[in-house]
Each structure stands twice: as structure tokens, then as C-alpha cells.
A and B are shown apart, each in its own frame.
Chain A
Amino acid sequence: MTVREALTHPWLTVRTQIALGIFFVVAALPKIADPPSFAHMVYNYRLLPGPLVNLAALTMPWAELLMGIALICGIWRRTAAWLVGALLAVFIVAISINLLRGNAIDCGCFDVAAAGLSVEERFHEMWMVILRDVGMLLLVAQGLLGADRAEGDRSA
């Protein structure tokens, strides 16, 4: 078995997608439970025009929840994986822009309450979030490659 075959093995692919799905479901629930706090988090990024802040804060958690459920249940897996990848890329860009601007923020990824961190701690946390999101992007890539292989195996 080659490295590529091992990395795209269906056993690994299924577990990766379930893990990714659980991540997104867990991330979505506190945001759905408390939209005003998440709107505050979205506002702190200083990227969206004012009229879109609340709409994004309401919609994004539900999208995360649906993508997570789709990955866990294996429904529309490839589409859900692509959307998750796109969302992670958006998060990485958004946090990077704020790092460049020197705007220390709580990421609001898994908790919508202010973490009470100092400015320096927040900057450190933002770097950690970027690293984590890049790691999750690798999981998405694995899932997509695994799905490609599964489709190839089925058509062979």
C-alpha cells in the first residue's frame, strides 16, 4: 500500500469527515444559542459592512451546523467538504487581515463569550487559530481525496 493509498483509505476518510463534522457542529451550537454575542464577535473583525453583520451572525452558524451534519451523516459529503474548506479559508483570511491591522480579537470560533485575554494573549491566540484552521484544511483535503478515490473505486 502506497502512502497516498493509506492517506485516502476509506476507513481514514470516514473518520476524518466525522471528526470535521463534529468540530463544526460543536462550533455552531453556542453561536446559534446566543446570536447577539456572536454578532458582537463578527463586528469585532471589522470586515463586514454594518448592515451585513447581523445577517452573517445569524446565518453562518446554521451553515456550519448543516455542513457538520452533512459530513457526519455522509450526505452531500463532497459539497459539504468544499464548503467547509471555503469557510476555513475565509476564517484564515479574516484573522490574518486583523493580525496585519494590529486588531486583537477573540476569534469566536467555539465560544461567543469574550475570553478576557490581554492584547498580547489575543494575538498569540489568533496565530494558534490560523494554525488550527490550516490543520483542518488538511483534513478537508484528505476527505476530498478520499472521496475521489472512493468514486474511482466504484467506477472501476
Chain B
Amino acid sequence: MNLRRFLAEAGAIVGIAVACALVSNAFAGKERQLAIPGDYPNATKVTARPEARPLAAFVAEPPAPAAPAAAATLPDQEVPASGATPSRAPLPTPIATVPAAGRDVPPDPGSQSPSAELLGRFPVHGQPFVEITGEAAAWLHARGALFLDARRSKDFAQGHVAGARSFPVWESEVVRERVGELVAEGRDPSLPVVLYCSGGDCEDSHMLAQTLFGAGFENLLVYRDGYPDWVKRGGAVRTGGPA
């Protein structure tokens, strides 16, 4: 076979494919559209298996004032096992210990505003995210923390945490628009925001956390076991499209 002819035909097939791809993407609905170029900072890094990452047990009550503040750990956040390599590399590993400020005096739920109570238990951690358990997620949900669902829109419509908003991280255009709207709301960026996806090895919520951290949100909490765990726990769910 003539090499020149082969290259011409191969070039035509690839060229037509690229043209079809770009045209179909340009005319696709927002839920099917992809941003070009993509923005995936950790695209070539393999992450550790989630089951290898330990989570500290959720402490329902804040520590007593006498507890040494320097040794305090943020309740329910990921704590690397002793001697173990912190997991979920290359995503930024949450810091297990937090500064004593804000934790020395335990909040009195009866005398604080909901925001102060949330911040008292989940102060700004300065990382793109920390991971939390289902128990912590339930605690935050009961106190009105904002929940964001990073799964696809169709999955959100089939069922989501009651009150959660849809931020489908793989629907580039939709999520870009919604992040813009969230920023425009002028929310206090230090308030805890809970992000979740499908649990297991799902990383959509971690990717959304990276995006929101870049947009200025400072207190992002990833509910590691995600929606399946929420359902298993009997948490409130709703069906239907994005709010």
C-alpha cells in the first residue's frame, strides 16, 4: 500500500473525527458539554485505595476545656495511621491536628448561632479538603451545613441528600456556572461545606473541593463514604432535578 495514500486516508479519518467531536460538543446541551482543554490537575497520578485510608471516629461532643489543645484533632477528619503513609496522594493530605484556637472553649449549642456552632466544631483547616465520616455528615446536616452533590445530574435527580445542591463536576459547563453562582451569593467562605459523591473510590467530591478551594472556599469537608452511606444510615433524601 502506498504510504502517502495511507497517510492521507488516516489523516482524513482523524480530521473528520476531530471535526465531528468539536461540532457535536459545541451544540451539545450543557450537561453533555466538555470544556477544552480539560482542567484535571491530578490526571496522571494514581491515588491510594480509599479503604486503606483510616478515618478517626466521630466525637459527638466537643472535647472538654481541660483537654490539651495542642493534641486535639479535628473530629471525624482523616488521620493517617501511625507509621503509615498518608493516603490519597497526590491530592493534598488533610492535616490531622489543628491549631488550638477556636477549640479551647467548647461551644455551647444552646447559646451559639448555627454558624458559630459549625465553626466551633469544624474550624477553617487551610487545606483543599478534609474527609469526614457519615456521622459527622449527619451532625452537619442537622445543623444546616451546605451540602453539594458532585455526581452527575441524572444521579442527583434519582436521589440526593435532602437540601443538597447539584454540582456535577464532570459536567464542566454546569459546574462552572454553579460555582460562579455560589461565589456570587456571598457566602462566608469559612463556613463548612460538605461535598459528597458515590463513596468507594469516587473522587468527584475531591475534584469539586479542589475547584471550590480555588474559588476561595476555605472549609471544605468531603464525606468520604458518600451517598450510598447516607442512604444506608437512613439520612433524609430527596429526588428530582437540581434546585
Contacts and interface: CB of A to CB of B under 8 A. Distances in A.
A in complex with B:
yes
A50 B39 contact: yes
Interface stretch (A7-15, A35-43, A130-138): A35-43
Contact of A46 (B14, B32, B38, B43): B43
A46 B45 contact: yes
A101 B9 CA distance: 36
Contacts of A103: 46
10 contacts: A36-B34, A36-B172, A39-B170, A46-B44, A51-B37, A53-B38, A54-B36, A55-B38, A65-B17, A66-B13
Contacts of A62: 16-18, 20-21, 24
B162 interface: no
Contacts of B37: 50-52, 54-55
Interface in B171-186: 171-172
A88 to B, nearest CB: 15
B20 A82 contact: no
Interface residues of B, number: 41
B152 interface: yes
Interface in A71-110: 76, 78-80, 82-83, 101-104
B17 A36 contact: no
A145 interface: no
B145 to A, nearest CB: 27
A27 B171 CA distance: 22
A67 interface: yes
Given A58-B21, A58-B34, A80-B13, A48 B43 contact: yes
A123 to B, nearest CB: 12
A78 B6 CA distance: 8
B20 A36 contact: no
Contacts of B1: 78
Contacts, number: 108
Nearest 4 Cβ contacts at the A-B interface: A51-B37, A50-B40, A54-B38, A63-B17
Q: Per DSSP, are chain B's interface residues mostly helix, strand or loop, or mixed?
A: loop
A52 B40 CA distance: 9
Interface residues of A, number: 41
Given A36-B172, A52-B37, 16 more contacts: A46-B46, A49-B43, A50-B37, A51-B38, A54-B34, A57-B34, A59-B21, A61-B21, A62-B21, A62-B24, A63-B13, A66-B13, A76-B9, A79-B9, A83-B13, A104-B201
A53 B49 contact: no
B22 interface: yes
A49 to B, nearest CB: 6
A50 B17 contact: no
B93 interface: no
A34 interface: yes
Interface string B1-33: 100011001101110111011101100100111
Interface in B32-66: 32-46, 49
